[in-house]
């Protein structure tokens, strides 16, 4: 028997028209560095989104599932592109502006982008790439920047504001199939060639509803969210879509991502929520220690992308900024788990331990753990295996070409269609995920596994340590052993013996897991999305470029 319910497709255009009408007075505020920030209401964004869609169709000839790329910071125009491109039926392709040039070229060519909307400040990055991007016919430039850099471009160059000026502020959005492509995002290539994940209207719609749940971020139109996580990093964790559903105000940092300007925007714009990877918050914490500011408005901080160090969580708690830890990946849209402790531990000492886990799975994400031989492992909080997930906003394949053919590599997808995350961890009987490592980062010492994350967290709890990354290095006797690379806080001093003793203290780390190889580095190398780049550390070690002390 079929249901008697209406079958209304879950479309991005519906999120847009809802936000622009029902939450028309909510705002997107974009930081400009100097002078007043740019402020635009959701109603204005709705009108300008329609104008952009008209311009793309009528002036640039965008049609069907043409790919329109963005090379942009987080700002109001990027939000307009987020809604205009998928709503008109085309495919938004957000480009990660921190990728190496060759990877960007590879990705644009692979996706066959026809148009690139770029911020003027990023033209020095785009201009030298353009000769290698034959599919790009148009470049639309928004915001300050030197246009003469594009003087020799083969593509036609347009000004964003000129292009949309005078266009109608409404658009008859097409009634698309909700399963069609809305946007695409390539994985950042930490684990090999970038892979294209293509989100559907339906997956984004359902994911946005999940982001908005009280058990997830649970924001309302009384909130302002400082969206530091880039719009090119898994759709800024779904926030631009989710906020249009509920009227949450967006505070966009544009290119001002350094700790100083971030602290300034928090003090003056008073966001109630913020989202970013741990490295951003480590930077902000150091800034606030040197130069205290009024950050009391900010009561909820979503941290994900890599494990949140316990010391960072405590320090933020002390400042009144409550951290909520979440796990996800490009392939999971990204919300996979979020660490809201269960009711029965709230206010008890165990609560902190729950908050440090990667969190619980929402109803839309099913999970299982797979052992080394592919066997299912119990949810007992002890058996560690590879996490596999499935659900309506989890990727089932990678993009592999304009004919719609897809890739399903066996190391990424199980035979029965689950996503193999490459993350290793345990799940407790009450459904809380604790990741111990990425499969490729775990240290395999004498047949036992050592968690690099556990060592890093313990090290970063030492008062002299600003950052610490631990990687596996080859060892004749044990196969692999941990190498600790440490960044000391400015003016701080600690020798390796002291740090090692600190790790061993109170049984924090089992004796056999303590690193014997140590080195001080000026900074831990970071990936394009601000995570520790362990590949680079392993390479530097192999090349003998690190000054190693053996204890
Ligand atoms: P990349 O794989 O290039 O880093 P993603 O942003 O898709 O790009 O990264 C997803 C990965 O980041 C996850 O598979 C996991 O290893 C790591 N990750 C994300 N959130 C967390 C978290 N809260 N704790 C630990 N690891 C995390």
CA of 342 relative to ligand 1 center, distance in Å:
24
Q: What residue ranges do the domains of the chain occupy?
A: 10-203, 357-439, 441-550
Nearest to 114 by CA among 142, 169, 148, 155: 155
**Residue of minimum CA distance from atom 21 in ligand 1:** 306
User: Which pLDDT value is given to residue 190?
Assistant: 59
Decide which of 3.40.50.620, 2.40.50.140, 2.30.38.10, 3.30.70.270 is the CATH code for 357-439. Answer: 2.30.38.10
| Rounded CA separation 96/106 (Å) | 12
pLDDT at 448 > cutoff 90: no
The CATH architecture of the domain made up of 441-550 is: 2-Layer Sandwich (3.30)
Across 322-464, the runs of DSSP E, i.e. the strands, are 322-328, 335-338, 359-360, 366-370, 376-377, 385-390, 398-399, 406-407, 419-427, 432-438, 443-445, 448-450
Percent of the chain's residues with pLDDT above 70: 99
Percent of the chain's residues with pLDDT above 90: 88
94 is catalytic: no
CA of 162 relative to ligand 1 center, distance in Å:
39
Strand 249-252 and strand 27-30: the pairing is parallel
Tell me: the pLDDT tens digits for 511-549?
Answer: 999 999 999 999 999 988 888 999 999 999 999 999 999
CA of 435 relative to ligand 1 center, distance in Å:
10
Dihedral (Cα; 407, 389, 229, 25), 10-degree rounding: 100
* Ligand 1 in reach of 186 Cβ (< 6 A): no
pLDDT band at 191; cut points 50, 70, 90: low
| Rounded CA separation 438/299 (Å) | 30
CA of 338 relative to ligand 1 center, distance in Å:
13
Is the peptide bond preceding residue 334 cis, with omega within 30 degrees of 0?
A: yes
pLDDT at 189 > cutoff 70: no
CA of 529 relative to ligand 1 center, distance in Å:
10
Which of 103, 185, 309, 329 most suits a substitution to test ligand 1, by most atoms within 8 Å of the C-beta? 329
* Ligand 1 in reach of 526 Cβ (< 6 A): no
**Residue of minimum CA distance from atom 3 in ligand 1:** 188
Alpha helices in 301-397 (DSSP H): 310-318, 350-356
* Ligand 1 in reach of 204 Cβ (< 6 A): no
The CATH architecture of the domain made up of 10-203 is: 3-Layer(aba) Sandwich (3.40)
291 is catalytic: no
Q: Which residue has the tokens 């290119």?
A: 255
Tell me: the pLDDT tens digits for 267-295?
Answer: 999 999 999 999 999 999 999 999 999 99
Measured from the Cα of 234, ligand 1's closest atom is 6
pLDDT at 9 > cutoff 90: yes
Of 10-19, 80-89, 108-117, 405-414, the least confident: 405-414
Measured from the Cα of 332, ligand 1's closest atom is 7
187 is catalytic: yes
Tell me: the pLDDT tens digits for 417-445?
Answer: 999 999 999 999 999 999 988 888 889 88
User: Which pLDDT value is given to residue 192?
Assistant: 65
Tell me: the pLDDT tens digits for 286-337?
Answer: 999 999 999 999 999 999 999 999 999 999 999 999 999 999 999 999 999 9
pLDDT band at 506; cut points 50, 70, 90: confident
Mean pLDDT of the chain: 95
* Ligand 1 in reach of 307 Cβ (< 6 A): yes
């Amino acid at each position: 028997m079929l249901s008697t319910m209406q079958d209304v497709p879950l479309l991005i255009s519906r999120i847009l028209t809802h936000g622009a009408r029902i939450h028309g007075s909510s705002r997107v505020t974009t930081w400009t560095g100097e002078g007043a920030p740019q402020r635009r209401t959701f109603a204005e964004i709705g009108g300008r989104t329609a104008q952009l869609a008209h311009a793309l169709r009528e002036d640039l000839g965008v049609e069907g599932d043409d790919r329109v790329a963005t090379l942009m910071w987080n700002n109001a125009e990027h939000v307009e592109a987020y809604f205009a491109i998928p709503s008109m039926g085309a495919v938004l392709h957000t480009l990660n502006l921190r990728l190496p040039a060759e990877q960007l070229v590879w990705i644009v060519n692979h996706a066959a982008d026809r148009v690139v909307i770029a911020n003027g400040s990023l033209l020095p990055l785009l201009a030298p790439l353009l000769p290698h991007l034959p599919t790009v016919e148009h470049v639309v430039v928004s915001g300050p920047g030197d246009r003469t850099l594009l003087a020799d471009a083969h593509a036609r160059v347009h000004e964003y504001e000129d292009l949309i000026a005078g266009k109608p502020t409404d658009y008859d959005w097409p009634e698309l199939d909700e399963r069609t492509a809305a946007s695409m995002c390539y994985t950042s290539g930490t684990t090999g060639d970038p892979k294209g994940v293509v989100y559907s209207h339906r997956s984004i719609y359902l994911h946005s509803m999940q982001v908005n749940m009280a058990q997830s971020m649970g924001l309302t139109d009384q909130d302002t969210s400082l969206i530091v996580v880039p719009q090119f990093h898994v759709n800024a964790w779904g926030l631009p879509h989710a906020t249009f559903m509920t009227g949450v105000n967006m505070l966009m940092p544009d290119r001002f991502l350094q700790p100083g300007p971030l602290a300034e925007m928090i003090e003056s714009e008073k966001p109630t929520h913020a989202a970013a990877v741990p490295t951003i918050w480590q930077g902000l914490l150091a800034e606030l220690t040197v130069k205290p500011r009024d950050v009391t408005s900010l009561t909820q901080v979503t941290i994900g992308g890599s494990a949140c160090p316990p010391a960072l969580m405590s320090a933020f708690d002390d400042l009144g900024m409550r951290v909520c830890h979440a796990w996800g990946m490009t392939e999971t849209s990204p919300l996979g788990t979020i660490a809201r402790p269960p009711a029965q531990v709230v206010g008890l000492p165990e609560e902190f331990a729950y908050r440090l886990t990667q969190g619980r799975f929402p109803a839309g994400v099913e999970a299982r753990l797979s052992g080394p031989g592919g066997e299912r492992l119990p949810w007992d909080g002890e058996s560690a295996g590879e996490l596999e997930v499935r659900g309506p906003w989890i990727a089932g394949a990678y993009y592999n070409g304009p004919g719609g053919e897809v890739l399903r590599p066996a190391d990424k997808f199980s035979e029965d269609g689950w996503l193999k995350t490459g993350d290793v961890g345990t799940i407790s009987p009450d459904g809380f995920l604790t990741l111990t490592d990425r499969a490729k980062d775990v240290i395999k010492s004498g047949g036992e596994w050592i968690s690099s994350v556990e060592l890093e967290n313990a090290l970063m709890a030492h008062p002299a340590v600003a950052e610490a990354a631990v990687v596996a290095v080859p060892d004749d006797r044990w196969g692999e052993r941990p190498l600790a690379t440490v960044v000391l806080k400015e003016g701080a001093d600690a020798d390796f013996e002291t740090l090692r003793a600190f790790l061993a203290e109170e049984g924090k780390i089992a004796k056999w897991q303590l690193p014997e190889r140590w080195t001080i580095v000026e900074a831990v190398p970071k990936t394009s999305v601000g995570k520790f780049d362990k590949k680079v550390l392993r390479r530097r070690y192999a090349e003998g470029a690190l000054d190693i002390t053996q204890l």
